[in-house]
Amino acid sequence: MTEIEKKLSSIYSDKDINQIYLSGRKGYWSNLSKAQNEKFTKLLEESDARTAVQSVIPQFEDMIFSEKREASLEFLGHEKPGVCIDYGCMWGVLSVGMAKRGHHVIAVDQTYQSLQFLKVRAEEEKLDNIHVVQDDIKKVNFSNFAHYALVNGVLEWIPILEEVDVSEYYRGGQSKKIDNSMPRDMQFKFLRTVQESLKAKGKMLLTIENRHCYQYYMGRKDPHANLLFTTFLPRCISNIISQVIHRKKYRNYIYSFSELKNLVLSSGFKQCKMYMAFPDYHFPELILPYSSGGILQYDKYPNKNRITQKQKITYYIEYIITKFFRGRYFAPAIILVAEK
């Protein structure tokens, strides 16, 4: 038994036949409905991981398997193999990326079906350095244990306590279960948990949309709440909009570059570096330092999803804002690397 397995066994006394550590804290967050996930999981028993994806959820094949999703990992440095905790790993694309770079990965998520998929993929790709845990990422206990932590598209969902089927959530459906705490306070507390899980000089990689992405001012809906203008308006106004349209509070807080830096540093990290991701952090074609010098490096970049006339016009606007007006404040997404 390895040191990591001993550590996990000391925290989680239960481990099922799929070799998934169980905390007893269950939950659900997925791009799939529970019915879709059931069908997907059943097919996994009969085929390999990629075939199951192509058969049931082909629209997510790139999201799960594209190596471009791993681009942000390169800002962590991989000279020394270490222990990495992937908070809210979902299907585990970054867990796989870190494992392939030689690290031992603790992949944590509440959604059991997502972890089943990751376990199958890891076994198929002979990655025995991924350890899968079903737990609430807000309540894990890995004090001073890891060298790296991943918070990939997770921070904005921390204040949401209800089970999330993303397509249903976008339509304003599902229960309105909430915590009375302010979303920022819940995110701060979570970041403290992440910070405390790291060893001295450990690093956290955090990716998230920029609150002031230029597209939101042009009428693109909030990518989490599916509402107009709620990312950049004062929170109190966004809350009113959400309550009127969806009959629930606005809680998917995202931040500007400076706001996110302040939140991360206030949670105990000593320093952080920030980068701009174009066209997004999911499939970045261009990643630049968030600085006056970094914005000067901006130039044209390819994007296979730039198909419609509207998408092309949107890109031209981005090009003008960024290339000629050096509007780094309006960059689409943030990649942040913080050090304990």
309-334 pLDDT, tens per residue? 999 999 999 999 999 999 999 999 99
Rounded mean pLDDT, 46-59: 96
- Going along the chain from its start, the domains and CATH numbers come out as 3-339 (3.40.50.150)
Tell me how far the alpha carbon of residue 222 is from its chain's centroid: 16
The pLDDT tens digits for 63-87 are 999 999 999 999 999 999 999 999 9
pLDDT at 180: 78
pLDDT at 181: 87
pLDDT at 2: 85
The pLDDT tens digits for 106-131 are 999 999 999 999 999 999 999 999 99
For residue 51, what are its two tokens? 């075939």
pLDDT at 179: 67
At residue 186, what is the residue type? M
- Kindly report the three-state secondary structure assignment for every residue of the chain: CCHHHHHHHHHCCEECCCCCEECCCCCCEECCCHHHHHHHHHHHCCCCHHHHHHHHCHHHHHHHHCHHHHHHHHHCCCCCCCEEEEECCCCCHHHHHHHHCCCEEEEEECCHHHHHHHHHHHHHCCCCCEEEEECCCCCCCCCCCEEEEEEECCHHHCCCCCCEEHHHHHCCCCCCCCCCCCHHHHHHHHHHHHHHHEEEEEEEEEEEEECCCHHHHCCCCCCCCCCCCCCCCCHHHHHHHHHHHCCCCCCCCCECHHHHHHHHHHCCCCEEEEEEEECCCCCCCEEEECCHHHHCCCCCCCCCCCCCHHHHHHHHHHHHHHHHCCCHHHCCEEEEEEEC
Closest CA to 252 of 277, 223, 275: 223
**Could you give the CA distance from residue 52 to residue 209 in angstroms, rounded to a whole number?**
30
Rounded mean pLDDT, 227-232: 98
pLDDT surpassing 60 at residue 175:
no
User: Nearest-5° angle of CA 140, CA 142, CA 148?
Assistant: 110
pLDDT surpassing 90 at residue 170:
no
pLDDT surpassing 80 at residue 1:
no
pLDDT surpassing 70 at residue 171:
yes
Tell me how far the alpha carbon of residue 169 is from its chain's centroid: 17
pLDDT at 167: 86
- Band (pLDDT 50/70/90 cuts) for residue 8 is very high
pLDDT surpassing 90 at residue 240:
yes
The pLDDT tens digits for 275-290 are 999 999 999 999 999 9
pLDDT at 172: 81
| Alpha-carbon distance values, 33 to 24, 67, 87, 135 (Å) | 22, 26, 21, 20
For residue 179, what are its two tokens? 């915590």
The pLDDT tens digits for 252-274 are 999 999 999 999 999 999 999 99
The pLDDT tens digits for 190-226 are 999 999 999 999 999 999 999 999 999 999 999 999 9
> Are 114 and 16 a contacting pair, CB within 8 Å?
no
For residue 71, what are its two tokens? 């681009």
Rounded mean pLDDT, 213-242: 97
Tokens 């990939």 belong to residue: 152
